[in-house]
Homo-oligomer: A and B are copies of this chain.
Amino acid sequence: MKIQEFSSLLEKVRESNPLVHNITNVVVTNFTANGLLAIGASPVMAYAHEEAADMAKIAGALVLNMGTLTEKEVKSMLIAGKSANQHGVPVIFDPVGVGATAYRTETAKRILEELDIAIIRGNAAEIANAAGQNSSIKGVDAVEAAGNTSELAESAAKELGAVTVITGKQDIVSDGRSIYAINNGHPLLTKVTGAGCLLTSIIGAFSAVEKDPVKAAVTSLVVYGSAAEIAAEKTGGKGPGTFQIEFLNSLYNLSAADVESYGSFEKMIG
A residues in contact (CB < 8 Å) with B: 17, 19, 21, 25-31, 33-34, 37-38, 42-48, 50-51, 54-55, 58-59, 67-72, 97, 100-104, 138-141, 190-194, 237-242, 244-250, 252-253
Contacts and interface: CB of A to CB of B under 8 A. Distances in A.
Which of A59, A190, A245 has most chain B Cβ within 10 Å? Answer: A245
Contact of A104 (B47, B51, B242, B249): B51
Contacts of A241: 34, 38, 244-249, 252
Nearest to A70: B48
A241 B228 CA distance: 13
Given A26-B29, A27-B30, A47-B70, 16 more contacts: A26-B26, A27-B33, A28-B30, A30-B30, A33-B194, A37-B193, A45-B67, A45-B68, A47-B68, A50-B103, A51-B104, A55-B100, A55-B101, A191-B252, A240-B248, A241-B245
B54 A102 contact: yes
Given A27-B30, A194-B30, A44 B139 contact: yes
30 contacts: A26-B45, A27-B33, A30-B31, A30-B193, A33-B193, A34-B192, A34-B193, A37-B193, A38-B239, A42-B141, A43-B139, A44-B97, A44-B100, A44-B140, A45-B68, A48-B68, A51-B101, A51-B103, A54-B102, A59-B139, A237-B253, A238-B249, A239-B249, A239-B250, A240-B248, A240-B252, A241-B246, A241-B249, A244-B248, A245-B245
